[in-house]
């Protein structure tokens, strides 16, 4: 059966794909800006602690369930239940995950379309086509539809090509390019005047903020979003993993890579903001807070690139290439969640399922584009603030309470024979049963109350 479903061909292929899913706009845009508005390195510290204490165990729950079931998220969760009610709830959680993954993809596609439009701007500058450049960087429904659909088709094309030939091949090609671009940009930005001030803000912790509830809630939400948790992405990627690989080890590598790239992205974005200030640009809004939202990426940074002269054209191109690649390797993982279910539950083949689902999701993106003020923030909040933590709790409950302990052990032991005596197995089962759901729920209810 696994042959028919497709599999990652190697450990590296899986790590590239899962890290590709995890490393996205959340790392390069979300993490640095959240850090900047939450007391600098204090946020970084809390984030890393939560990533390993809460997000990693939840990631393990998804990987274990996925590889055990060797199936899509709905079949995997409903298959764990022994009674009709738990099977029914499992299917419900699976469908909820699919809806949330699809909705995340619908807004992610719009944002990725902006990145691609801005990627084109330096090209128009080199060609002397100024008008075209202005059109690319001016918000319009037409521009958003053209570039959003371009990005959506790219995502569909990769997913339609399958696990090994699509997801694995493109993640393995694009992730090294992403890391290379990120490092080159950091080296350049750190040589600019003003960068060191940003580096200080980023690296010196304001320890008084460590216990700030807002900081903790933001850090947990960011960790879950960054590791693509709750919506079944990691569960499905786990289901394509061979039984010879050690899940706890691979999960830890993915968590390390994700945290590492988020941290590294901070070394680029925060110093860049301060270089912009040094070059005379405004980096605080009227309320005196650091500009962090879309205007940071689409106004402050492009103005910074403009102020760098000829080099700025290359820097701008490299930056938006970095953003576009980060978005693409994440979006393919989101599309795989509904597509894997459609392939396994209907008679449609992979290509048909991909285009049917992909076009449906793009229809949602189109609805958002036409009703932007009404829907954009609403969809982001519904999916990332409310749904992802709740789904995370449900997945921990399924791994900790519904899945039989012997089956859990059998699954983690595959590829890691001595696991029974390890530190991981001593704490993780209890942890995923009690600590994770309770802590996630406490943080979640605090964020509701706030
Ligand atoms: N992890 C991605 C990021 O940091 O941008 C976002 C994401 C990808 C969320 C895949 C959910 C998902 F299923």
Rg (CA), the chain: 21
Other Cβ atoms less than 10 A from the Cβ of 377: the count is: 11
Alpha carbons 343 and 240: distance in angstroms, whole number: 14
In angstroms, what CA-CA distances link 128 with 122, 123, 124, 161? 10, 9, 6, 37
Ligand 1 mutation pick, 19, 20, 22, max ligand atoms within 8 A of CB = 22
Q: 103 CB under 6 A from ligand 1?
A: no
Res. 329: pLDDT tops 70: yes
Give CA separation, 266 vs 32, 33, 38, 178, in Å: 5, 8, 13, 15
Distances (CA, A) of 361 to 42, 67, 102, 203, 366: 38, 27, 6, 40, 9
Q: Is 98 in the pocket of ligand 1 (CB under 6 A)?
A: no
Dist CA 164 CA 167 (whole Å): 6
Contact 182, 261 (CB under 8 A): yes
Domain assignment of residue 418, yes or no: yes
Confidence check: pLDDT of 3 > 70 = no
**Which residue bears the tokens 């596609």?**
109
Domains in the chain, number? 1
The finding on whether 26 has its CB within 6 A of some atom of ligand 1 is: yes
What angle, 0 to 180 degrees and rounded to 10, lies between the N-to-C axes of helices 195-203 and 169-190? 120
Check if 324 has its Cβ closer than 6 Å to any atom of ligand 1: no
Residue 125 has pLDDT above 80, yes or no: yes
Tell me whether residue 328 is in a domain: yes
Under 8 Å between Cβ of 369 and 144? yes
Distance 244 CA to ligand 1 centre (A): 27
Cβ–ligand 1 distance for 102 under 6 Å, the answer no
- For ligand 1, pick from 334, 387, 389 the residue to mutate: most ligand atoms within 8 Å of CB: 334
38 CB within 6 A, ligand 1: no
Tell me if 74 sits within 8 A of 339, measured CB to CB.
Answer: no
Residue 19 has which token pair?
Answer: 């890290």
Q: Which atom of ligand 1 is nearest to the CA of 334?
A: 13
Residue 6 lies in a domain: no
User: Best of 29, 330, 336, 380 to mutate for ligand 1, by most ligand atoms within 8 A of CB?
Assistant: 330
- Angstrom distance (rounded) from CA 67 to CA 237: 8
User: Considering only CA atoms, which of 275, 271, 309 is closest in space to residue 122?
Assistant: 309
Would you say the CB of residue 27 lies under 6 angstroms from ligand 1? yes
* Tens-place pLDDT, residues 391-400: 999 999 999 9
Q: What is the CATH number of the domain that holds 142?
A: 1.20.1740
- Ligand 1 in contact with 104 (CB < 6 A)? yes
Rounded CA-CA distance 252/176 in Å is 19
Q: Establish how many alpha carbons lie within 13 A of residue 133's alpha carbon, considering only the half-sphere containing its beta carbon.
A: 15
Residue 100 confidence (pLDDT) above 90: yes
Main-chain dihedrals φ then ψ at residue 40, nearest 5 degrees:
60, -130
Is residue 330 lining ligand 1, measured as CB closer than 6 Å?
A: yes
Are residues 151 and 366 in contact, defined by beta-carbon separation less than 8 angstroms?
Answer: no
| Residue 191 within a domain | yes
Determine the atom of ligand 1 nearest the C-alpha atom of 330.
8
Q: What is the pLDDT of residues 430-447, one digit of tens each?
A: 999 999 999 989 888 877
Beta carbon of 257 within 6 Å of any ligand 1 atom: no
Interval 178-231: pLDDT, tens: 999 999 999 999 999 999 999 998 998 888 888 888 888 889 889 999 999 999
Read off the pTM: 0.95
Domain that holds residue 265: 11-449
Within a domain: 2 = no
Q: Is the CB of 6 under 6 A from ligand 1?
A: no
Structure tokens at 417: 């024979």
Residue 5: inside a domain, yes or no? no
User: For residues 408 and 402, what is the distance between their CA atoms, to the nearest angstrom?
Assistant: 10
Nearest to 175 by CA among 222, 109, 311, 183: 183
| pLDDT at site 286 | 87
**Quick check: is 3 in a domain?**
no
Please work out whether the CB of residue 231 comes within 6 Å of at least one atom of ligand 1. Answer: yes
Mean pLDDT of 53-61: 94
Token pair in block for residue 276: 């912009």
Quick check: is 270 in a domain? yes
């Amino acid at each position: 059966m696994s042959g028919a479903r497709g599999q990652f061909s190697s450990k590296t292929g899986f790590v590239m794909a899962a890290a590709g899913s995890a490393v996205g706009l959340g790392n390069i845009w979300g993490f640095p800006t959240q850090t900047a508005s939450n007391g600098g390195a204090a946020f970084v510290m809390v984030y890393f602690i939560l990533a390993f204490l809460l997000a990693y165990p939840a990631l393990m729950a998804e990987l274990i369930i996925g590889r055990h079931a060797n199936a899509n998220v709905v079949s995997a969760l409903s298959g764990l239940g022994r009674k009709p009610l738990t099977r029914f709830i499992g299917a419900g959680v699976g469908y909820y995950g699919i809806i949330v993954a699809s909705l995340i993809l619908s807004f992610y596609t719009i944002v990725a379309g902006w990145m691609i439009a801005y990627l084109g701007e330096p090209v128009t500058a080199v060609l002397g086509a100024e008008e075209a450049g202005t059109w690319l960087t001016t918000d319009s429904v037409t521009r958003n539809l053209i570039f959003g659909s371009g990005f959506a088709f790219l995502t569909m094309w990769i997913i339609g090509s399958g696990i090994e030939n699509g997801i694995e091949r493109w993640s393995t090609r694009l992730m090294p390019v992403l890391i290379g671009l990120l490092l080159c940009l950091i080296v350049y930005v750190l040589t600019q005047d003003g960068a060191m001030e940003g580096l200080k803000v980023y690296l010196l912790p304001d320890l008084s903020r460590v216990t700030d509830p807002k900081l903790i809630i933001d850090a947990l939400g960011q960790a879950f979003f960054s590791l693509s948790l709750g919506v079944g992405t990691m569960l499905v990627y786990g289901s394509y993993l061979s039984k010879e690989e050690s899940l706890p080890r691979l999960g830890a590598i993915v968590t390390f890579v994700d945290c590492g790239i988020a941290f590294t992205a901070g070394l680029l974005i925060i110093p860049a903001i301060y270089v912009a200030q040094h070059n005379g640009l405004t980096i605080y809004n009227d309320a005196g807070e650091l500009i962090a939202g879309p205007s940071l990426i689409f106004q402050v940074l492009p103005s910074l690139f403009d102020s760098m002269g000829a080099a700025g054209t290359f820097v701008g191109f490299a930056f938006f290439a970095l953003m576009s690649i980060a978005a693409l390797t994440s979006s393919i993982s989101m599309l795989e969640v509904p597509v894997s279910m459609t392939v396994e539950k209907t008679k449609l083949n992979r290509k048909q399922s991909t285009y049917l689902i992909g076009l449906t999701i793009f229809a949602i993106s189109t609805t958002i584009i036409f009703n932007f003020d009404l829907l954009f923030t609403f969809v982001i909040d519904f999916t990332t603030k409310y749904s992802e933590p709740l789904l995370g709790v449900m997945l921990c409950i399924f791994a900790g309470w519904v899945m039989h302990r012997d089956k859990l052990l059998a699954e983690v032991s595959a590829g890691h024979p001595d696991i029974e005596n390890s530190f991981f197995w001593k704490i993780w089962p209890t942890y995923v049963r009690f600590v994770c759901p309770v802590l996630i729920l406490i943080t979640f209810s605090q964020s509701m109350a706030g």
